Structure 1
Amino acid sequence: MKLPLVPLDRRRLRFECTQCGACCRKPGLVHLHPDEPARLAAYLGLEVRAFAARYLRRLPGGRMAIVVHEGSAGCPLLAGDRCSVEAVKPGQCRAYPFWPELVGDPAAWRAEKRKCEGLGRGPVWPAAEIRRLLALDPGVDGGNTD
């Protein structure tokens, strides 16, 4: 799926994480790279099979994802407002808010700003760094950047 993107070199995107945990409470899927289940399981001291049974859903095509259910307290790996796997958290999480569907659409970025207090704060992020973060996100379209 190709998204209509405004070239990153023309965007002035500001973001500074406040560690509020709001992004971890958004319902949806956290898509994982193939190596991430093993890395997450090892960090938590679990066998991969046990980790997968407890936290993951297999998607069509064999990909794995963590499900954040509507009405839940958030990601099952969230502990209070903090990520319990911060040191090894999934690429999609590390990339937030620099997801293709947000950086490519000024209206989507503004809408997300109402949900995330860190958007619009801090320094303007360089386009090259945003592209690097977009590459971490194994989301639906694999990170179309421009």
Structure 2
Amino acid sequence: MNVEKEDLSAFQCRRCGACCKWEGPVRVTEQEIDAIADYLGIELQRFIRDYTYLTPDRRSLSLLEKEDGSCFYYDDRRKCCLINPVKPKQCRDFPYRWNFSGWRMFCAGAGNLKNRKTVNLFHSDSLFLTAM
């Protein structure tokens, strides 16, 4: 089976913040919440109360967003994540494990990427697609 897959080996983050400015929840685990609260020097329950919210599907907590939908912890002026040493896995995984439609048009780091390439999946490999 042949599948198109993006070759992201040349991706280099340019700190443009496109992924941080994209609207949508940044889901956080208990361990990530602990690490972020500790890093910021905020008591855990206060951090949960003041800096997270329950996602619409009620499955997890998400980091607070600014009014424009961007991440509360992205400093646009300095072009940096204010919690970079402890940022959630969801953030670290962009664009390798997830991205959004049209992300290449917004992300400065996408400039050095090649076009999609076709990858051959051996018969023994499984490909699972799920609808959410």
Asked if TM exceeds 0.5, the reply is: yes
Change (3 A) 1:117 1:47: same
Q: CA deviation at 1:77?
A: 1.2
Counterpart Cα distance in 2 of 1:65 and 1:19: 22
User: What is the aligned partner in structure 2 of residue 121 from structure 1?
Assistant: 112
Tell me the CA shift for residue 61 of structure 1: 4.5
In percent, how many aligned pairs have the same letter?
29
Q: Which runs of 5+ in 1 are unaligned?
A: 1-5, 103-107, 124-143
Distance 1:24 1:101, change over 3 A: closer
Number of the residue aligned with 2:68: 71
Out of 10, 20, 24, the residue aligned to residue 24 of structure 1 is 20
Aligned residues: 110
**Which structure has the larger Rg over C-alpha atoms?**
2
What corresponds to 1:36 in structure 2?
32
Q: What is the TM-score when the length of structure 2 is the normalising length?
A: 0.69
The Cα RMSD (Å) is 2.6
- Secondary structure in structure 2 of the residue aligned to 1:65: strand
Output the amino acid matched with 1:50.
R
Q: For 1:27, give the aligned amino acid.
A: E
1:32, 1:64 within 8 Å by CA — same for their partners in 2? yes
Kept in 1: contact 2:7–2:113 (CA 8 A): no
User: For residue 112 of structure 1, what is the aligned residue in structure 2?
Assistant: 103
Q: What displacement does 1:19 show?
A: 1.0
* Unpaired stretches in structure 2, ≥5 consecutive residues: 115-129
1:98 equivalent in structure 2: 96
- The partner residue of 1:52 within 33, 45, 48 is 48
Structure with greater proportional helix content: 1
Q: Which has the higher contact order (CA 8 A, sep 6+)?
A: 2
Secondary structure at the aligned position of 2:26 is classed as strand
Q: 1:12 matched to which residue of 2?
A: 7
